[in-house]
Amino acid sequence: MRKLIISMVMCLSLLTALSAKAVDNSMLKSDVPHRYEVVEGDTLWGIAARFLKEPWRWPEIWGLNRSQLKNPHKIFPGDTIILEKSLQGNRLQLIQGKGDQRTVKLSPRIRIDQAQSNAIPSIPAAVIEPFLSQPLVVDRDGLANAPYLLGTSDNRVVLSTGNTVYVANMPDHLGKAWQIFRSGKALKDPDQNNQVIGFEAEYLGNASARVFDEISTAVITHSTQEILKGDRLVPAPGLIFNNYAPHAPDSFIAGRIISVYGGVTEISRGAIVTLNKGMRDGLEMGHVLAVFRRSQTRLPDGKMIELPEERTGLVFVFRVFDQLSYALVVRSTGTIKILDAVKNP
């Protein structure tokens, strides 16, 4: 049975004092459309990018306050966004429902949605989904006391999907759904003398507990790579709902990209990067940061000098830990590399 959830939907209108703010021409793209109808597969970021030079500013333009930013209104396929130009300034208007030319007033209302709602997300959900459900950053000893794989009855060396496995130290009060990890690389902060601030645990697959005992029995239900004896298990978390609207941090953030998922050296749009800033620095889900590259050049006398920083992209923070966070590269206008700076846009 699909679970019903209740969410507060804040609809936008041009008819009230709290409706969309005027949009300055300098904020609009040169080829901005007059109207756009939302379709399946759209994201809030993608739609805003059709109208605005800086897509992350759409909540600001539509006058959303801080509480709304954390639970943004929902836009569905079939809704229409209209750019209305007047002497008083340009405005963006949202019309709810395909073919419905009635303007929806800005007022809170309760809407019952199914969990499999087709409301469009802020950013592509498929790209970040694994990072929402897999706790990939752990403390130094984060896996030391976790249950671990003893092997199989036929002494297989490599374990994979469908294998029945035996597990030591598996408690029976944390449920039957588990994930399998292996300790990964250390994540170091270049701004703190390369101090280790976390470890990126390597996700290997999922397992389902069948019998809890001193030595428990489980079945590997999914594997992404080879699973070995000694690999650790952690309880599978519930899905983290992440549809936060993009917005700039309230305080100044100055960090760096310290890792990229997949081990590539040059980073482009769609890549997942790790930042050396987290909750203790004021980062939260939905924050947008600009990426800056600093280069050097050699003078005729052989001396190296620093060139001014060059903005090369934007990242959208979608999962935050204490000292680290994951972000999606949503724009790249130049090559992005590890150790490039991230700051307020």
**Could you report the per-residue pLDDT of 205-251, keeping only the tens digit for each?**
999 999 999 999 999 999 988 999 999 999 987 766 556 678 889 89
Side chain identity at 129, as an amino acid letter? E
Local structure of 43: helix, strand or coil = coil
- How confident is the model at residue 38, as a pLDDT? 85
Tell the CATH topology of 254-343: Thrombin, subunit H (2.40.10)
- How confident is the model at residue 127, as a pLDDT? 73
The residue among 236, 313, 226, 321 whose CA lies nearest residue 268 is 313
- How confident is the model at residue 200, as a pLDDT? 87
- Give residue-wise pLDDT tens across range 159-218: 999 999 999 999 999 999 999 999 888 999 999 999 999 988 888 999 999 999 999 999
- How confident is the model at residue 197, as a pLDDT? 92
pLDDT band at 42; cut points 50, 70, 90: confident
Burial of 6 (0-12, 13-18, 19+ CB in 10 A): exposed
Task: Please tell me the distance from the alpha carbon of residue 336 to that of residue 329, in angstroms, as a whole number.
Answer: 9
**What is the rounded radius of gyration, in angstroms, for the C-alpha atoms of the chain?**
24
Local structure of 46: helix, strand or coil = helix
- Rounded to two decimals, the pTM is 0.73
The domain spans of the chain are: 4-120, 139-235, 254-343
- How confident is the model at residue 187, as a pLDDT? 92
Q: Among 116-130, 131-145, 322-336, which stretch is predicted with the lowest mean pLDDT?
A: 116-130
